[in-house]
Amino acid sequence: MNLDSKIYIAGHNGMVGSAIWRALTAKGYTNLIGVSSAELDLRHQQAVKDFISTENPEVIIDAAARVGGILANSNYPYQFIMENLQIQNNLIDSALQAGVAKFIFLGSSCIYPKLAPQPLKEDYLLTGELEPTNEWYAIAKITGVKACQAIRKQFNKDYVSLMPTNLYGIHDNFDLNSSHVLPAVMRKFHEAKENNNAPVTLWGSGTPMREFLFVDDMAQAVVFALENTLPDYLYNIGTGEDLTIKELAETIQKITGHQGEIIWDATKPDGTPRKLMDISKMHALGWKHQVTLEEGIQKTYDWFLDNIHRFKEVKM
């Protein structure tokens, strides 16, 4: 890969896409392409095909997706399966038809069965039932993984899938109606602190265990995949370490400075009991995360405070 290689980052304005853009720019890559959803609707097949054939990138990094937490997945199951299928299938097929040499597909650890053995190995894909609260998104992402695997098998192209654990960080989504657990909890604690340290109610029992990866570490994994030919079609990306949601909440509470009570609403769903990634395959190749959880949460909270005006419109 040359520093002037033409690289299209789909979803470059999102949390993951913007982190990848920052990482590549920092390494000296000079020919990055990104278009907004207003300029190119990735759900429209012909528009995507025309764009890819015209731009003719050497590499496509698919960081575009409709994403959200338990609430969003539960309320909009059709949009989560259909829009993600449309986005990724249009990109993957257009890349193949245009002769794009390398494709990096980003998914999620939710592709693995709900009750799979821990930590989650890549081999556990399609060995059991999915977590019902996000199966729509998971099925779409599994389809993307299999499409890229099929292209590797049939056309011998360097199309690889990276499955990150729970991501968080700069440019995260803090909308309480659609965000994931870490930014949602961070916002709740911050606003409660501003409201005389009011009590904070959190979903579930606090006992499920989760793994979290700072988004800039994910971006470095993408750079690693870009600059190397990975021998397999699927790789987990994570820290290999997890903690309970209760421990996560207490860590965020400390960093935000909230000093009120935490109330756990056990009537709300917990989701998967545990979801820890086996990252030995990527470690064996030479990639490892660098940012600790506390360091990453502090960086995220600092960014939240600097950009708090963006979130004032969306109330709790």
Please give the annotated binding residues, written as ranges: 11-17, 106-109, 141, 164-167, 180, 188, 203, 210, 270
Nearest to 263, CA basis, from 316, 206, 194: 206
- The residues facing 234 across adjacent strands are 161
Q: Which two tokens stand for residue 258?
A: 């909230």
In the chain, helix, strand, coil percent, each to 5? 45, 15, 40
Active site residue 78: no
Annotated binding residues for substrate, written as ranges, equal 188, 203, 210, 270
**Strand 102-106 relative to strand 158-164: parallel, antiparallel, unpaired?**
parallel
Q: Are 174 and 238 contacting, i.e. CB atoms less than 8 angstroms apart?
A: no
Candidate list 8, 137, 233, 301, residue with the active-site label: 137
The C-alpha torsion from 105 through 141 and 114 to 127, rounded to 10°, is: -90
Nearest to 265, CA basis, from 184, 209, 201: 201
Helix (H) or strand (E) run with residue 213 in it? strand 212-214
Catalytic residue ranges: 137
